[in-house]
Amino acid sequence: MFEFINNDDRGQVGIGTLIVFIAMVLVAAIAAGVLINTAGFLQSQAEATGQESTDLVSERIEVTSEVGIVGNATTGNLSEIRVGVTGAPGADQIDLSETTIQAVGPNGQENLVFFNASGGNVSDLGDGDFAVQQDGSFVDGDNAVLNEDSQYTIVLNPESSPFGTGSGANAFGESDTSSLEIVSPSSATTAVELNSPDLYKEDGEAVRL
């Protein structure tokens, strides 16, 4: 009527249970490690994405003015295009020498990059160039660093592509339009529209674009 389990059978059952228990603990530990690593990766990715999103908002260049200097009122062309810029509120330092400008004008499209206009002449700026001034003087790349407390002027040559095809009537001038996208080193973009007046009055005057 009664079945008896001898000591050998009990030992085998106990060892089997222990092996299963140890296997379950190992599987749980591995799963926990995977979950912890995944959570850490997701957290790091979220922090990086959040920082990039913050930079796209805060590390942005703000435009304060858009002015053209009339070179010749008779031919109706400009000698300079000046775009005043400052850093957005809360912005850290923004290196204008690492900034790019995607420009579309009457003469096509160009990606403009910083040019060290050491000679001090806007005419030195060729196709695809822009320079930076502060207080009326050109600055080199080491000093073209923008923040929310400083102001600089981005200078463009109306005779160079994509604004014009040469001096005189071939330069950017009366009734011409152009669009700029100023892209900071953190890839924050500021859009600018340049709309020249239909008529200039005199040489050297400043006109709002």
Q: How far apart are CA 173 and CA 187, in angstroms?
A: 30
Question: DSSP readout, 166-183?
Answer: SSGGGSSBTT-EEEEEEE
For the stretch 84-101, pLDDT in tens is: 999 988 778 899 999 999
pLDDT of residue 58 exceeding 80: no
Binned at pLDDT 50, 70 and 90, residue 13 comes out as low
pLDDT of residue 75 exceeding 70: yes
Q: What pLDDT, on a 0 to 100 scale, did the predictor assign at position 49?
A: 46
Q: What pLDDT, on a 0 to 100 scale, did the predictor assign at position 50?
A: 46
Selected residue with higher pLDDT from 145 and 42: 145
Q: What pLDDT, on a 0 to 100 scale, did the predictor assign at position 53?
A: 47
Q: What pLDDT, on a 0 to 100 scale, did the predictor assign at position 90?
A: 79
pLDDT of residue 44 exceeding 80: no
Please choose, from the candidates 89, 102, 81, 45, the residue with its C-alpha nearest in 3D space to the C-alpha of residue 164: 81
pLDDT of residue 202 exceeding 90: yes
For the stretch 110-158, pLDDT in tens is: 999 999 987 778 989 999 999 999 998 999 999 999 887 889 999 999 9
